[in-house]
Structure 1
């Protein structure tokens, strides 16, 4: 069985990775400001499910296989980069329009699927899981199950926290006043993340 200190260290490491700004957290903030809390929570649930999928994959050992299979990891990075660049383009196009971004009119189902797809196409998620699960946990694979469940809940709570904060009235009013600049900023940051992932795939 894993030592309590090892378990705590792995959990804290995952929490730090989860709350740090990245494409998923950035998208959660943007969607929350544009659509409000109720719809933003659907997006957060999709992100949480996508993150948990990678956790299950890592816990059963397929994550290590994926990491060691060059062509599969390269393809995943290319798909993830393409999706991030597509999201970046949508944000930049929204900034060029006079009306509010189309994400504000997206259905809850589409927002859930968008969040799910964002984390399913994010290979950085599996690296976070592999780093967490390899932090000296002893015993067999059953040691990973409670850690995976706890970290999955931490990841979901993180997304919910981002949505809850950025869907407040103050943040939504700020978004409406500075919508174009926010959309441009989100687009540029997502584009930079996509290009970085694309460069990583080329060096794989």
Structure 2
């Protein structure tokens, strides 16, 4: 792959990685509640979901979402429902209950499952890979190998985004140390997750 292509791909890709979507908001929330390391480790679930989507885009299976209206709507309704559920739980959470949860050290597998379900429940993400990655693929060369390189770079930059958003969450926890402030922060995050769920519900195939 030519360096000029990578020079265009990397900044454009990183802009997508850093967009404040549902998974990045979840990283902020998890870091503020459970710490930097657990939020970053939980991001592995998101990486797995994105790896699956990249593979689907590479083999052309994502085209099914372009042609199947009911499948697109089914996935987005399930994904939005899960986001609403997370927002509801976060809204109800109290600082005292969170202190007990942090002491219990929630398993990384549970946080990874959350990240995976949020990512995999967004059909627009699959369509994004279908529309974005091919722009940087040279059809005269090995397409599969190029998708592998671009996909690996996307996932690497996604790791950076996970760490940066988790870092924001840790600093937010310090900023909102008082119980009343922490509850307000939880409810702001809850509102943002609910807004993301609403945006997912009204999303159309692009």
Into which bin does the TM-score normalised by the smaller protein fall? 0.7 to 0.9
Q: Which residue of 1 aligns with 2:96?
A: 99
Structure 2: gaps of 5 or more residues: none
Q: TM-score, normalised by structure 1?
A: 0.85
Instruction: Please state how far the C-alpha of 1:111 moved relative to its aligned partner.
Output: 1.2
* CA RMSD of superposed structures (Å): 2.3
SS in 1 for 2:160: helix
> For residues 60 and 155 of structure 1, what CA distance do their matches in structure 2 show?
22
Distance 2:86 2:130 in 1: 26
Give how far 1:80 is off: 1.0
Residue 78 (structure 1) shift: 0.7
Specify every segment of 5 or more residues in structure 1 that has no aligned partner in the other structure, as ranges: none
Q: Is the 8 A contact 1:81 1:198 kept in 2?
A: yes
Question: Separation in 1 of the partners of 2:20 and 2:95?
Answer: 28
Shift of 1:188: 0.8
Aligned match of 2:126: 126
**Residue 151 to residue 103, structure 1, CA distance change in 2 (3 Å):** farther
Q: Report the equivalent of 2:175.
A: 174
Structure 1 segments of 4+ aligned residues over 6 angstroms from their partners: none
Residues in 1 aligned to 2:190 and 2:168: alpha-carbon distance in whole angstroms = 21
Partner of 1:24 in structure 2?
Answer: 23
Distance in 2 between residues matched to 1:11 and 1:103, nearest whole Å: 38
Contact persistence 1:55–1:148 (CA under 8 A): yes
Say whether the 8 Å CA contact 1:59–1:148 is kept in structure 2.
no
- Give the aligned partner of residue 145 of structure 1: 148
Aligned with 1:185 (options 184, 188, 199): 188
CA contact 1:50–1:118 (8 Å) conserved in 2? no
- Of 60-69 and 85-94, more deviation after overlay is shown by 60-69
